[in-house]
Amino acid sequence: MLNIKNLSYSYHQEQNAVESISIKLNSDEVLCLLGESGSGKSTLLKLIYGNLQPDEGIILFNDEKLKGPAFQLIAGHPDVKFVQQDFNLSPFISIEENIGEHLSNLDLDYKKKRIKEVAEILEIQDLLQKQSHELSGGQQQRVAIAKAIAKFPKLLLLDEPFSQLDANLHLKIRHQLMEYLKEHRVACIFTSHRAEDALGFSDQILILRKGKAIQNSTPQKIFASPANAYVASLFGNYNILTAEDASKFGIPRNFLNKYVISYPHEIKVYREGKFQGEVIHSRFFGKEYQIEFIAKNHFFYALHPDYLKKGEKINFDIKNYRWVY
Ligand SMILES: Nc1ncnc2c1ncn2[C@@H]1O[C@H](COP(=O)(O)OP(=O)(O)OP(=O)(O)O)[C@@H](O)[C@H]1O
C-alpha cells in the first residue's frame, strides 16, 4: 500500500537530512523508525505526509502519488493521518469537538459513538469536555492520537507517540493502540527512542543514521544480526571486541577486520566459566542486576540474578556473539 522509492531531502545544501530512503509497507504492517537524535526520523515522516517537498524520490500510496507542498496547498491525504510532536489541537473547542473535527455532522449519534470508542482506546474519556490548554502534555498527546484514528485512516504516521506518557500509561496505551491498528488493518509508521517499542510492536524496523538507512528488517533479525555497532547500541548496553581481543575469550579469529558484539544477557557469569573477571559495579535493573566487570583490560556488561560486590572475582563465558563491521 505504501511504496517509497529513493526519497532524499536536505534543509541545507551541505547535508541530506534524508538520503535515498526506500520503504515498502503492506496495509496491516507497522514500521518503526529507529535512530539517534537527528537521524532524520521526523523529516522522513514530514516528507511522507507532504509537509516537505522531496528533492528526489517518489511516494506511492495505493499506487497514487502523494504530493508535496510544491504541488498541493494543504498537506495530507484523506486516508493518511500524522500526529506530530506539537499535537496541533485546536485551542478554542472542547476535546470532544477536537476529536470529532473531521467526522461528519450528518449522523450525530454515530459521531458521538465514534468519539467515545477512540477515547476509550486512548483512555481519555474523562477529558472530553475540557479544552486543550487545560491538559497535560501526555493528555494532549493521547487526544491527538484519538483525533488521528477517529476517521479510520489507512496509514497513520506517529512521531514519538508515547514520549509524554508515564511508564504505566505507556504500556497500556501502546498495547491498546497497536491492537486497534492490527484489528482495523491500519498501516503505521512510528518513531521511537525506546528499543522495546520497536522490538515488541513493529513488523519492520528501519534503522536511520545521518538520514541514511542502515538496516531494514524484522525486529528479530535486526536484534540477532545488527549491521554494525551503531545498530546494536540502539538496543542498550552491549559488548564489543576486536577480533584480536575476542580471541582472548575463546572466540576464533575468523574475520580480522570485523568486530564481535555480544549483548549483556549473552555473557554468562557462573562458577564454571572459563574466563576470570573482577566486578566494578552491580546496578539493579528490576528483574536482575547489570554487572559491569573487567577482564584482561576489557569492560564487559553482563546480567546476573544477584548483587555482586565491587572487587569480587567472577568466572564467565561469552555464550553468544555475532560479527559486525
Ligand atoms: N527545520 C529545520 N531546519 C534545518 N535543519 C533541520 C530542521 N529540522 C531538522 N533539521 C536537521 O535535519 C536532521 C534530521 O532531523 P530530524 O528532526 O528529522 O531528526 P530526528 O531523527 O527526528 O531527531 P529526534 O529524534 O531528535 O526528533 C538533523 O540534522 C536536524 O538538525
In this predicted model, what pLDDT tens digit does every residue of 150-166 receive, in sequence order? Answer: 999 999 999 999 998 99
Read off φ and ψ for residue 114, nearest 5 degrees. Answer: -65, -40
The angle, 0 to 180 degrees and rounded to 10, between the axes of the packed helices 167-183 and 137-150 is 0
Report the pLDDT value the prediction gives residue 67, as an integer from 0 to 100.
Answer: 85
Mean pLDDT computed over every residue of the chain: 95
Looking at residue 74, its pLDDT comes to 80
Nearest CA to ligand 1 atom 16: 40
Nearest residue (by CA) to ligand 1, atom 1, is: 11
Note the pLDDT of residue 5.
97
* pLDDT at res. 76: 82
Q: Which atom of ligand 1 is nearest to the CA of 39?
A: 21
Query: Of 212, 216, 211, 195, which is closest to residue 263 (Cα–Cα)?
Result: 195
* Nearest alpha carbon, ligand 1 atom 29: 38
pLDDT digits (tens, 9 = 90+) for 62-117: 999 998 888 887 888 999 999 999 988 988 899 999 999 999 999 999 999 999 99
Is 43 touching ligand 1 by the criterion CB < 6 Å?
yes
User: pLDDT below 50 — which residues of the chain?
Assistant: none
Alpha carbon 248 to its chain's center: 36
The pairing of beta strand 2-9 with beta strand 56-61: antiparallel
pTM score over 0.90: yes
Does the C-beta of 42 come closer than 6 Å to ligand 1? yes
Domains, the chain, ordered by start: 2-228 (3.40.50.300), 237-324 (2.40.50.140)
pLDDT at residue number 323: 96
Q: Is the CB of 39 under 6 A from ligand 1?
A: yes
ipTM above 0.85, yes or no: yes
Atom of ligand 1 nearest to the CA of 33: 21
Please indicate whether residue 219, judged by its CB atom, sits closer than 6 Å to ligand 1. no
